[in-house]
Structure 1
Amino acid sequence: MSTRFFGEGNIGSAPEFREFPPHDNEEPSRLLRLSVYFDNAVPKDGEFHDRGGFWAPVELWHSDAEHWSTLYQKGMRVLVEGRMVREPWEDGEGKPRTTFKVEARCVGVLPYRIERIVIASKPAAEPEQQQ
């Protein structure tokens, strides 16, 4: 079971990057896992007050996941779009439990609490040597 998800929240811990061995001649699968607190901030008296939110694991499967693991940082405000997926499991005592995770299609960085942004330019192409 899954449903479309669109939420804004803060990354709560350092991103976790994992790479899985390739099957046949394919590229390896790359996963970036974030723990995000999706809040419900409401303005009141010039400040924002949290009216209840939830923590959810966010999984982003992509070939650039390793690069993005250095971009996303704890405390960063992000906008997540994807689908919410229910995952049933059993705890150590054999009791059924349920976790909801977000399988992200994209994770955008919001400009809150960012001191600066540095855009790295692409290295110049080597000029061809004429013989």
Structure 2
Amino acid sequence: MSTHFSGEGNIGSPPEYREFANGNDEPRRLLRLNVYFDNPVPKKDGTFEDRGGFWAPVEIWHRDTEHWQALYQKGMRVLVEGRTVRDEWEDAEENERVTFRIEARRVGILPYRIEAVTLSPKPATER
């Protein structure tokens, strides 16, 4: 089961990068982010109260994820678009469990808590 997902949240831990063998082809690359999707509701005093936020693992499958590992940082505010995927499994005591994860199509960095952005120059072949 899967559904479309779009949400804003904060990365809660350093990104986790993994490679998986893919026969003779280039390995499949995964970057996993642990994101807290909050639900800020404004209060009369101008502050916000979080109502009903949740943690979700966000998975990015892409050939460039090794490079993105250094880009995404703990505490960074991100906008995630993708799909939710329901996983069913049994724990050690054979109890049925259900978890959800997000397979991201896009993870945009929002400008909150960012002090500077440095762009690398384009290689001569791309000009």
* Normalised TM-score (structure 2): 0.93
Structure ranking higher in strand proportion = 2
2:116 is aligned with what amino acid?
R
- Residue in 1 aligned with 2:49? 49
- Structure 1 vs Structure 2: percent identity of aligned residues? 69
Query: Which digits, 9 at most, give the CA deviation of each residue in 1:74-122, with x for residues without a partner?
Result: 0000000000000001111110000000000010000001111111112
2-side partners of 1:124 and 1:83: how far apart?
A: 37
Q: Matches of 2:91 and 2:36 in 1, distance apart?
A: 23
Deviations 1:32-62 (A, max 9, x none): 0000000001121211210121100000000
Residue 22 of structure 1, CA deviation: 2.4
TM, length-normalised to structure 1? 0.91
Q: Match of 2:104?
A: 104
Say how many residue pairs are matched.
Answer: 124
What stretches of structure 2 of length at least 5 have no aligned partner? Answer: none
Q: Which runs of 5+ in 1 are unaligned?
A: 126-131
Q: Which residue is equivalent to 1:31?
A: 30
Aligned-residue offset at 1:123 = 4.3
Structure 1: 4+ residue segments shifted above 2 A: 122-125
- The reply on whether 1:65 has 2:65 as its aligned counterpart is yes
Bigger Rg, which one: 1
Cα RMSD, aligned residues only: 1.1
